[in-house]
A = this chain, B = another copy of it.
Amino acid sequence: MLNRKELIEQIHLKKSFLCVGLDSDKTKIPKHLLLEPDPLFSFNKAIIDATKDLCVAYKINTAFFEADGWQGWQSMQKTFDYISSDILKIADAKRGDIGNTSHQYAKAFFHTLKADALTLAPYMGNDSLAPFFQYPGHWGIVLALTSNKGSADYEQQKVGTEFLYERVIRNTCNLGSSENLMFVVGATKPHEFKIIRNHAPDHFLLVPGIGAQGGNLSEVVKYGRNKDVGLLVNASRSIIYAGNDAGFTDNARKEAKKIQLEMSAFL
């Protein structure tokens, strides 16, 4: 578990604000791992061992584990257990439901899986998100402006005088503080960071879209950083699938190191 102060310390210690995304897909991991009793966990374990000094967070994409049913959830549990407590453990699950149900999701991720942070989908409004902020020491990371084309459909539509994603940020800021609330902000739209920093100057932003999704790190830093850095920049596929044979951990490390070096120049 990492609070805000500790997260910032780790960023400066490691000279990195990299989050490695574990989108671990049985059809993409090196073939030799399929002989292991738990291929997805073996893959994650190897990637974590190869990158843990270069990143400050892991983001576990629940979809890739759920595709494998209850065995996938078991691999996911083992992965959360394996990550050391000085690294932020993010469950990228985009949950959100009526209060009664959101309480169960909070229990699932914060209590059972022992994630530090959970991504949340805001469509159903503030009362659907509130239960996640009742767990001291845990983070809710709310979808604001995502990096996909479909973000134009609703997120970037005007509601009154502001964009929907702006309203989401404004409303959600009533539920938590920069100590337990972050936002997902797509890196493909750097100029919009300015708008977002207006509403959330102190919050950490989780930025996907570096690497396979094509975002640009220096633009993200230029527009998105705050006095405490305030950024977790995620790369998933470009790191974890950098290689696909016996030497895949070396390839992954090389790719993570490249990003970490780029980041260190900004710190």
Contacts and interface: CB of A to CB of B under 8 A. Distances in A.
Contacts of A99: 148
A148 B124 contact: yes
Contact of A102 (B63, B72, B160, B168): B63
Interface residues of A, number: 62
Contacts of A113: 69
B151 A112 contact: no
Contact of A149 (B66, B127, B160, B164): B127
A63 B105 contact: yes
Nearest to A78: B70
A246 B147 CA distance: 52
A261 interface: no
A164 B69 CA distance: 34
A104 B164 contact: no
B164 A159 contact: yes
A124 B155 contact: yes
A104 B63 contact: yes
A133 interface: no
A118 to B, nearest CB: 11
Identical chains bound together, number? 2
A171 to B, nearest CB: 6
Interface centre among A25, A143, A148, by most chain B C-beta atoms within 10 angstroms, is A148
Interface string A120-157: 01111111110000000000000100111111111101
Contacts of A76: 70
Given A67-B107, A124-B151, A124-B155, 12 more contacts: A25-B104, A72-B73, A94-B121, A98-B213, A121-B124, A122-B123, A124-B150, A124-B154, A125-B152, A126-B150, A157-B159, A158-B159
23 contacts: A25-B104, A61-B101, A63-B105, A66-B104, A66-B105, A67-B112, A69-B112, A70-B71, A70-B73, A70-B76, A94-B95, A94-B121, A98-B213, A122-B153, A123-B143, A123-B154, A124-B151, A125-B149, A125-B150, A128-B148, A153-B171, A154-B167, A164-B164
